[in-house]
Amino acid sequence: MTKSSIINDLKSMGLTGSETILIHSSMKAVGNVEGGADTVLDALMEFFADGLLLLPTHTWKTVNESNPVFDVSNSESCVGILTELFRKRPGVVRSLHPTHSIAAFGRNAESYIAGELSCNTPCTPGGCYDRLKDVDGKILLIGVTHARNTYIHSVEEVLNVPNRLSDKPMKLSVIDNSGNSHTVYMRKHYNASQPHISEDFVKLAQAYIDCGAARNVMFGDAPSVLCNARGIFNVTRHVLAPAPECFITEDVISSERWADFPGNEFSQE
């Protein structure tokens, strides 16, 4: 695969390059690309030059009570090679969220990621993740499932779903781009019954497709999913509002939960 073929894959999804889009990715799943991960980033940044390209640069795996410092310039991303390389590129800016930062490139990048120092949860309502629904944002899952779709956590936080966050916050330090240190208090994702709650997000995969909030696409060799953030929010709310614990308590979420949802309201065709 080449940069041109990757750009063609994006065009074949119906994307124009002017979108605000958050990308979760597995470079391994993409396959053999001439130039590797850098070529993939070249293609993404060229294609979305008139839009806003967002990649997660999370540090929840390394920033914690025993290692309480997040340095926005130097703390490595723990969610894949594309995200780590992306945050270091010229023109890319990174939010100051100590555990769930986002790197941004393109239209109004700095204003989009602003204000994350005031967050006290991984996906605080009004923060970078929650904003996606308000700007008609897209989410592209490249070679990964909804188990890696952090946006669903933000829906849970907006809905105030119980038993999703630790009771006590961590005291952390954030070092900004100027070298200044800021003290923040951050809760983390936690559920006593299911320590990896996001693994259950895949239970809604068919609901998202049936309701037009997501559709299956290809990116290189990677089976991928293109989502509409507002659609994901509304379908998730439709299912969780009457039964907030259904991710945990049910092996399969019945199709009856979304049978009366307006079909194709969020079609991305």
CA angle at 181 for the pair 177 and 186, rounded to the nearest 5°: 105
Q: Which of 40, 118, 116, 42 is nearest to 80 (CA)?
A: 40
pLDDT at 258: 62
d(CA 9, CA 153): 28
Residue 208: domain span: 3-257
Walk along the chain (269 residues) and give the pLDDT tens digit of each residue: 999 999 999 999 999 999 999 999 999 999 999 999 999 999 999 999 999 999 999 999 999 999 999 999 999 999 999 999 999 999 999 999 999 999 999 999 999 999 999 999 999 999 999 999 999 999 999 999 999 999 999 999 999 999 889 999 999 999 999 999 999 999 998 877 776 778 889 999 999 999 999 999 999 999 999 999 999 999 999 999 888 888 877 654 666 666 667 655 555 44
177 in a domain, yes or no? yes
Q: Is residue 12 part of a domain?
A: yes
What's the DSSP call for residue 226?
Answer: E
d(CA 34, CA 50): 25
In the chain, the number of structural domains is 1
- Assigned domain for 64 exists: yes
| pLDDT on residue 262 | 66
Question: What pLDDT was estimated at residue 197?
Answer: 75
Residue 86 domain-assigned (yes or no): yes
The verdict on residue 229 lying in a domain is: yes
Amino acid (1-letter code) at residue 83: T
**Domain contains 262:** no
Predicted local distance difference test score (pLDDT) of residue 194: 73
E strands present in 7-153: 20-25, 52-56, 69-71, 93-94, 102-106, 138-142
Asked if the structure places residue 265 within a domain, the reply is: no
Cα maximum dimension of the chain: 53
